[in-house]
Amino acid sequence: GQNIDQPTEMTATEGAIVQINCTYQTSGFNGLFWYQQHAGEAPTFLSYNVLDGLEEKGRFSSFLSRSKGYSYLLLKELQMKDSASYLCAVRDSNYQLIWGAGTKLIIKP
């Protein structure tokens, strides 16, 4: 079967750095996405990785290792508005997205 694993919940302090991990086992791989979802709102696109390595976008970076079936999302200089759920999704061999359950990130002052 296909599986995406992420921690259920993480807590971090305002101004700090946090790393959210995602491991996957899917039938094929055609890219990995990270989305942010604030409570009661729709998911919004954060990043996309299809090749191994680090993609940096301002305070957010995403890393991919296809051989290990592993990705992480790194959030720097945390702000209170970063409190949200972070969803990892992998596009499989059928070009469908398989979604993890999401990691709820709680930011404390």
Partner 1 sequence: IAGITQAPTSQILAAGRRMTLRCTQDMRHNAMYWYRQDLGLGLRLIHYSNTAGTTGKGEVPDGYSVSRANTDDFPLTLASAVPSQTSVYFCASSPGMEGGQETQYFGPGTRLLVL
User: Which tokens go with 22?
Assistant: 């995602």
Report the chain's terminal Cα–Cα distance, integer Å. Answer: 40
Is 87 an interacting residue with respect to partner 1 (CB under 8 A)?
yes
Q: Which is nearer to partner 1, 88 or 107 (CB)?
A: 88
What is the Cβ-side half-sphere exposure of residue 87, based on CA atoms within 13 angstroms? 16
Integer Cα distance of 64 and 48 in angstroms: 9
| Bridge partner residues of 90 (DSSP) | 32, 98
Question: If binding is defined by CB under 8 A, does position 48 make contact with partner 1?
Answer: yes
The residue from 33, 34, 63, 72 that contacts partner 1 (CB under 8 A) is 33
Among 13, 27, 44, 93, interactor with partner 1 by CB under 8 A = 44
Binding footprint of partner 1, residue count (CB under 8 A): 21
- Interface residues toward partner 1, by CB under 8 A: 4, 31, 33, 41-45, 48, 50, 87, 89, 91, 95-102
